[in-house]
Amino acid sequence: MEKKKRVAMVVANNFEDSEAIDPMNHLESLGADVVTIGEAKGTVEGKKGGVLEVECTFAEVTPEQFDLLVIPGGGAPENLRIVDEAVDFTRRFVESGKPVGSICHGPQLLISAKVLDGRTVTAVKKIRDDVMNAGASYVDEPLVIDGNLITSRVPGDIPQFNEALGKAIGLGE
C-alpha cells in the first residue's frame, strides 16, 4: 500500500481563510494528510474569522517529511517572512525539487527565501513589483507552473490551484 501523501501548510495570523481552508479540504478529500506548521503551536486566526490550529512548529519538521508545501496568502506570508525558521524551511523545500504551491501574497515568503530569481510566477497584483524585484517574471494568469512552483493570484483562482496541487502529488484527475 502506498504511503499517504503529506502536505505542509504554513500558516500565521491573518491568513486568507479560503486560500488555506479550501486547499486543505480539497487535498484531504483526495486522501492527503495536511499538517499545519507555524511559528508556535496554538490557534491562528484568518482575516475573515476562520481558525486553524498550528500542529507543528518549524523546529519540529523538515522538508523531507512532506510531499508538497502550500503557502496560503493574506497577511500570513508577511508575518512568516520575518521568521528565520519559516524562511529556511521554505528555501529548503523549494531547493528539494518537491512541489510548492503559493497563492496571493504567498510569494512574499518565496521572496524572503530568495528562490524566485529566474522563475515565472503569478501573485496578487499588489506584490507584482516585489516579485519582479526578486528576479522573477510576473504574469497575470490564474495559474502558473514553473518547475516545482505552482502559483495563483486570488481566491477566484482556487479551483485551478487546488487541481494543480493534487496533480503535483499524484492525486486527483
- Rounded Cα distance, 152 and 142, in Å: 5
Please check whether residue 87 is in contact with residue 56, taking contact to mean a CB–CB distance below 8 angstroms: no
Give the contacts of 93 (CB within 8 A, at least 6 positions apart).
8, 63, 66, 69, 100
C-alpha angle with apex 16: 5 to 165, nearest 5 degrees?
A: 30
Cα 85 → chain centroid: 15
Q: Which three cell numbers stand for residue 79?
A: 508575518
Return the residue matching grid coordinates 497584483. 125
- Catalytic residues, by residue number, are 104-105
